[in-house]
Amino acid sequence: MPVPTPPSTHFRVMLKVDPEPVAHSGKPITDVAACRNLKYTWYYDQIVHAETGIGITIQWRENFFDGRFTSKNSEKIWIKGNGTVVLKTRWCSAFGRFHYTQARFRFTDDEGGQFEVSGPWVRLNAP
């Protein structure tokens, strides 16, 4: 089972979260069965920027909530060189307290290089 790692960097990519910290929303998440009846929710953007003129592809993304692996997204997303993609992110919980999240990305660049980057720890504020 994957475990979170400290945030890391790579010269080909910049990862940023907006806002950080993330305020409690309370806006229901109704299209995910596990979240339908949970009133504690948070919404934020993960901004992924290709830092060079070389394009990159997100191969997968592992998601962690309070230090525990929760899911893996395998949708491949290509980002042109010097381009940016914004990943709309949301979380829910049964507990109205402080939480933290993290995403770890596996990338392939357009030259065939592969690398992983652990995103920043994201603070989800208590209501």
- Domain of residue 110, CATH code: 2.60.40.1470
Q: Residue 87 falls within a domain, yes or no?
A: yes
Would residue 101 count as lying in a domain? yes
- Residues 44-100 have pLDDT tens digits of 999 999 999 999 999 999 999 999 999 999 999 999 999 999 999 999 999 999 999
Q: Is 8 part of any domain? A: no
Q: Which two tokens stand for residue 100?
A: 């933290």
Say how many domains are in the chain: 1
Amino acid at 35: C
CA 73/CA 93 separation, integer angstroms: 20
pTM of the model: 0.94
Q: Give DSSP secondary structure letters for the chain.
A: ---------BTTEEEEEESSSBPP------SSGGGTT--EEEEEEEEEEE-SSS-EEEEEEEEEETTEEEEEE---EEE-TT-EEEEEEEEEESS-S-EEEEEEEEEEETTS-EEEEE---EEE---
pLDDT band at 1 (very low <50, low <70, confident <90, very high): confident
Cα four-point dihedral sign 28, 44, 87, 85: positive
% of the chain with per-residue pLDDT over 70: 100
Any domain includes 3: no
43 is a domain residue: yes
> Per the domain annotation, does 2 fall within a domain?
no
Q: Does residue 108 lie within any of the structural domains? A: yes
Structure tokens at 51: 């830092």
The domain of 54 spans 13-124
Is residue 118 one of the residues assigned to a domain?
yes
| Structure tokens belonging to residue 34 | 């596990």
